[in-house]
Amino acid sequence: MSVAVQIMDAIRLGKGNASKKDIQETTSVAWGTMCKSVDNLLERGYIFARREKAQGRGRPVIPLCINNDAAFYVGIDIGAGHTRAVVCNLSFNTVYMDEVPTPRYAGSEQFFAFLRERVEAAVVQSRIEREKLEGIGVSVSGNVDFENGIIVSGGNFGMPFGANLNIAEYLSAEFGVPIYAMTTQAAASAAEYHFGEMAGTPNILTVGCGIGIGSGVVSEGQIMISRPGRLVGHIGHILVSGNRRLCSCGFRGCLESYSGGNNLVSVAKEKFPHRTDLDSARTLDLLAAAGDADAQEIMNTAAAYNAAGIASMIQLYIPEAIVFGGGQCRADGYLFNRTLEEIRSILPRERRENIKTSISTLGKYQSALGAARLVFERYFGDNK
């Protein structure tokens, strides 16, 4: 992270009381470098100094504050089912949010038009001044070449592998600001690391269970960003022994091909064709909780598969916290609780006791918020 971003974080976390000395303690940036950067941020109006009367002798301590409305960031999360947008101010308060269904992919032209329309709606309806927009982050439930801002594929909304849409080029030409593209789960982990209940925990695993099954990783305070050829946390495509279902990625046996929301319904149709009432993941979950044996059979298998995937991620990344999100994770949900039980039955006790599990407090805008954060993190402080 740039010095400017580290300083902005220290000021935000100081809640209006951080002095230069506090900032240096939090960031460990060399005093001279830090002062130069603070002066630059003051000059550009991103922060301001709160003047307070000197108390006693010595130099007065001058607390620094973020000028909330000095810059804004748009975050768009293109999920398998819904596309969500947020506009955040410089303190990362959400000043606008909206949600629309994600259209089924029908070619690049339609997709670009949809994306432009979502950003435009966010900018117009949030009533921010256009010149204060400083970046657009886009997270996608799919494969993303984040270095080049290219969406490679989005199987869950019908975008085939190799679609390769250069959204960074397109959106920066349309809106004249930096664009950053990433996977939904990279954005989710960024959101949890900075704004969630477990914020600041160095090793976090995020797991999203919805139409797709995704995961993100924060390792030693670094958000691991997946890229084609070096996948991080594609938990949904971990192969689970015993599962033979064909996945949207072309492999047979991926976790998601069974436990993904729509796939659970397909499993129900195949296994119990007479049970036309098992028509959504939500219904399956509620019926399982109510004791329905057919629904339980499906959900128990899904829980065992989920646990196999999550336990594999625990082996790889040794998280201190697992934060769950997505439509399938509810505190009183059958599949969610059954998944936790299965994980517990796999892990040795010392691991079980050292991992905190929770459901995200950030809600369904988690990834949109993370997308806004990541574009800020990457570009803030660059000279315009």
The answer for 318, left when phi > 0, alpha when psi is -120 to 50, beta otherwise, is: left
Which of 80, 87 has the CB closer to Zn ion?
Answer: 80
Q: At what angle do helices 3-13 and 31-43 cross, to 10 degrees?
A: 80
Q: In the bound complex, what is the minimum distance in angstroms from residue 255's beta carbon to Zn ion?
A: 8
Closer by beta carbon to Zn ion, 84 or else 237: 237
Q: Pick the closer one to Zn ion by CB: 227 or 237.
A: 237
Q: Which is nearer to Zn ion, 118 or 237 (CB)?
A: 237
Task: Identify which of residues 188 and 254 has a Cβ nearer to Zn ion in the complex.
Answer: 254
Q: How far apart are CA 371 and CA 77, in angstroms?
A: 7
Which residues of the shown chain bind Zn ion in the complex (CB under 5 A)? 237, 247, 249, 251, 254
How near is the Cβ of 258 to Zn ion at its closest, in Å? 10
Q: For Zn ion, which is the closer residue by CB, 229 or 348?
A: 229
Question: From the CB of 245, what's the least distance to Zn ion, in Å?
Answer: 9
Nearest CB to Zn ion, comparing residues 237 and 373: 237
Question: Nearest distance from residue 304's CB to Zn ion, in Å?
Answer: 18
- Report, in Å, the least distance between residue 175 CB and Zn ion: 34
- Residue 64 half-sphere exposure toward CB, CA atoms < 13 A: 26
- Residue closer to Zn ion by CB (options 260, 327) is 260
Q: How far is the CB of 326 from Zn ion (least distance, A)?
A: 17
Please, which residue, 176 or 250, has the CB nearer to Zn ion? 250
* Phi, psi (degrees; rounded to nearest 5) at 251: -80, 160
Shortest Å distance, C-beta 332 to Zn ion: 29
Residue 249 CB, shortest distance to Zn ion, in Å, is 3
H helix or E strand, kind and range, residue 351: helix 349-353
Cβ 79 to Zn ion shortest distance, Å: 17
